[in-house]
Amino acid sequence: MHYHIGNLLVYQEFNGNCECPVCRIQAILEKRLVDRYLNESAMADDRRHEVNAKGFCRHHTQMMFARDGKLALALQEITRMMTLCDHLTATDDKKDAMQQAEYFAQSSKTCVICDSVDVSLMRYYATIAMTYEREKRFRAQLSTVKGFCLPHYAKLLQYAEYAGKSAGEYVRTLTEIQRKSMDDLILDLNKFTSKFDYRNADVPWGTAYDALPRTFVKLHGEESK
Ligand SMILES: [Zn+2]
Ligand SMILES: [Zn+2]
């Protein structure tokens, strides 16, 4: 096995412990970035410029607010708010108002952390496919995962060509794993609903007890905290 900085997290997180190992990798990347934007280096000019222009999305703002480093957050929010105010002027001109509407409709959707995570994840989708082609032992490890959330499943398929000559085999593995994980989850959901029938009170829950939260992750991905 060739561990390197690019596939270390892949080897670490690809196991049967969750509904999507890519979500776990994403959570690690998000936490690192949140910490980075809360420490001193967030005050560097180039970072401040980017934060002023894009800001942080709701989710990442909440992650930052839940941590220490409120001074760094407040300082960044001041200059972000000032940038936004540059586009907000009192007007009775409907065209100006529509331009403001267009700008502010987008302003809460842009996020420096989301953008950075997206770029890193693109490298991971390619790395996972390349690791599949190059390292036999990873194939065995991949077969232990319980599928992926649907957004990450779609991305892995889109980057499957990075598996080169093994792309067909890689796609077959991904699709088989995903289908099995969805089928297993449907079984668990059925069992979960059957437990609401008093006649099944004594039937053990097995893996069905958390079928709903696992379904949420499967459908939408796991939210990092
Ligand atoms: Zn995921
Ligand atoms: Zn974000």
Residues within 5 Å of ion ligand 2, judged at the Cβ atom: 57, 60, 111, 113-114
Give a yes or no: residue 1 inside a domain.
no
Separation of 51 CA from ligand 1 center, angstroms? 26
Alpha-carbon dihedral sign for residues 20, 25, 28, 29: negative
Give a yes or no: residue 3 inside a domain.
no
Give a yes or no: residue 121 inside a domain.
yes
pTM (two decimals)? 0.91
Give a yes or no: residue 225 inside a domain.
no
pLDDT of residue 86 exceeding 90: yes
Give a yes or no: residue 206 inside a domain.
yes
Q: What is the pLDDT of residues 29-44, one digit of tens each?
A: 999 999 999 987 677 8
What is the length of the chain? 225
Give a yes or no: residue 99 inside a domain.
yes
* Domains of the chain: total: 1
Q: What is the pLDDT of residues 118-152, one digit of tens each?
A: 999 999 999 999 999 999 999 999 999 999 999 99
Whole-number percent of the chain with pLDDT over 90: 88
Give a yes or no: residue 211 inside a domain.
yes
**What is the average pLDDT across 75-95?**
96
Separation of 112 CA from ligand 2 center, angstroms? 7
DSSP string, 36-64: HHHSGGGGSHHHHHHHHHH---HHHHHHH
Closest ligand to the CA of 156: 1
Helical H segments across 20-149, by residue range: 21-38, 45-54, 58-65, 70-85, 94-107, 112-134, 136-142
Structural domain range at position 118: 8-220
Give a yes or no: residue 31 inside a domain.
yes
pLDDT at res. 5: 62
